[in-house]
Amino acid sequence: MKIRLIYWLTAVALFLIFIAYLAIPKKVMQEEFGSVLEQSEYIVVSEEDRAVIREIITTLVHTQLTVLPFKKGYMESLGKKLVGRVNTFEFLAVIFTEPDLVADMKILQKSTFKYKKFTEGLQPKLLKDYQKAGFYQRVTKFSKHLRLDEAEFMTILNHCLDAAKREEKVAFLPMMDYLISD
């Protein structure tokens, strides 16, 4: 009898906690518990786009170099799904907030050819982003999202942008190395 009462009280308590969770606005919870970034500092990417990014990175990392050219069309079709939906910093934020993808990036870094090609692919996208209004606001949001030292990251990024403007193909290698090592 006492065991049933304990189960019943536990169920009621869990139900009330669940109702409170639904009823209390998230902003209030964030202010109360304070360990969460302000809502405006979050980089939000849909689960569908996250899945595409995961597929791009895992395919790139776990496909043998000799097989990768045969997957080029597939990889390009995945990339096209993200055009106009995810900017470069959102793409990178997904990669560097998911532990499995961070581990994959460390593997990718060891494959010089793949890593170099991945980094070269970032250059035109980041330069295009740079020319759009709000670039540094996106950089700030990205830095805060990943909890990077904003000044240090900005210095590295500006160095990379200068190299990219001089058309150095691997201009963003230092930025990627910084993100992977952090």
Is residue 167 domain-shared with residue 113, that is, in the same domain? yes
The pLDDT tens digits of the residues spanning 26-81 come to 443 333 333 344 445 678 899 999 999 999 999 999 999 899 889 989 989 998 99
Is residue 77 domain-shared with residue 24, that is, in the same domain? no
Is residue 98 domain-shared with residue 139, that is, in the same domain? yes
Exposure b/e, 15-36, CB count within 10 A at least 16 = b: eeeeeeeeeeeeeeeeeeeeee
> Domain range spanning residue 24?
2-36
The upper half-sphere exposure of residue 169, i.e. CA atoms within 13 Å in the direction of its Cβ, equals 6
Is residue 162 domain-shared with residue 112, that is, in the same domain? yes
- pTM of the model as a whole: 0.75
Is residue 85 domain-shared with residue 149, that is, in the same domain? yes
The pLDDT tens digits of the residues spanning 168-177 come to 989 999 999 9
